């Protein structure tokens, strides 16, 4: 898994926001089991919440491996693609847990994409978020918890 420079992650998520960032191989399938906890370490009860996730293709440039991790610039991809919904499964909201499914084959990256070339200096990139929409309860207003996402997709050298 790639190590990302903190300044690069800050470009995507801001200074104090949570982010899941990773480097995937073209057509890789994986998942993350996530549990949200309260400040005392106990699972956060998310009963009634709605969990959704979307990503969108981004243009990466100036990608380089620095002493402190991968650095790059991120911008809108042209032509503007449509967002892709990611699957959320295994929801146990009372225990604050769910699974984010990563199925890169559903993201419309073609094996002939030039950014998948083994010698591509700027790989395919996606950013997005997981939104946990918590409804109002009593005097507590509705709240959205956001976890940012950042994925780089690389070729394994066999595919492209």
Instruction: Taking residues 10-27, report their average pLDDT.
Output: 78
Instruction: Taking residues 120-125, report their average pLDDT.
Output: 79
Answer yes or no: are the C-beta atoms of 103 and 126 closer than 8 Å.
no
pTM: 0.84
Interacting residues of 62 by C-beta distance below 8 A, sequence separation 6+:
71, 72, 73, 122
In total, the chain counts a number of residues equal to 160
Q: According to the model, what pLDDT value does residue 159 have?
A: 59
Instruction: Taking residues 41-47, report their average pLDDT.
Output: 92
pLDDT digit string (tens) for 149-160?
Answer: 988 887 766 655
CATH classification of 6-154, choosing from 2.60.40, 1.10.3470, 1.20.58, 3.90.700?
2.60.40
Top-ranked range on mean pLDDT: pick from 29-38, 52-61, 90-99: 90-99
Q: According to the model, what pLDDT value does residue 112 have?
A: 60
Q: According to the model, what pLDDT value does residue 110 have?
A: 63
Average pLDDT along the chain: 84
Domain ranges in the chain? 6-154
Q: According to the model, what pLDDT value does residue 16 have?
A: 75
Q: Which residue has the higher pLDDT, 21 or 99?
A: 99
Q: According to the model, what pLDDT value does residue 17 have?
A: 80
Q: Which two tokens stand for residue 1?
A: 């898994």
Q: According to the model, what pLDDT value does residue 115 have?
A: 66
Q: Which residue has the higher pLDDT, 121 or 141?
A: 141
Q: Which two tokens stand for residue 147?
A: 């976890």
Q: Which two tokens stand for residue 141?
A: 């207003």
107 C-beta neighbours (distance < 10 Å), count: 19
Name the residue with tokens 């370490």: 41
For residue 63, give the nearest of 128, 6, 120, 126 by alpha carbon.
120
With 90 as the cut, is the pLDDT of residue 121 above it?
Answer: no
Instruction: Taking residues 34-41, report their average pLDDT.
Output: 93
Q: Which residue has the higher pLDDT, 29 or 87?
A: 87
């Amino acid at each position: 898994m790639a190590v990302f420079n903190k300044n690069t992650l800050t470009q995507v998520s801001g200074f104090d926001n949570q982010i899941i960032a990773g480097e995937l191989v073209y057509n890789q399938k994986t998942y993350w089991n996530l549990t949200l906890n309260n400040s005392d370490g106990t699972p956060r009860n998310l009963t009634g919440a709605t969990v959704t996730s979307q990503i969108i293709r981004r243009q990466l440039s100036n990608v380089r491996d620095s002493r402190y991790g991968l650095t790059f610039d991120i911008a809108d991809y042209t032509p503007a693609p449509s967002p892709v919904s990611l699957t959320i499964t295994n929801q146990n909201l009372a225990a604050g847990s769910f699974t984010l499914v990563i199925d890169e084959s559903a993201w419309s990256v073609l094996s002939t994409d030039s950014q998948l070339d083994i010698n591509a200096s700027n790989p395919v990139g996606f950013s997005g978020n997981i939104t946990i929409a918590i409804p109002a309860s009593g005097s507590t207003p509705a709240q959205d918890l956001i976890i940012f996402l950042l994925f780089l997709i690389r070729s394994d050298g066999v595919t492209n």
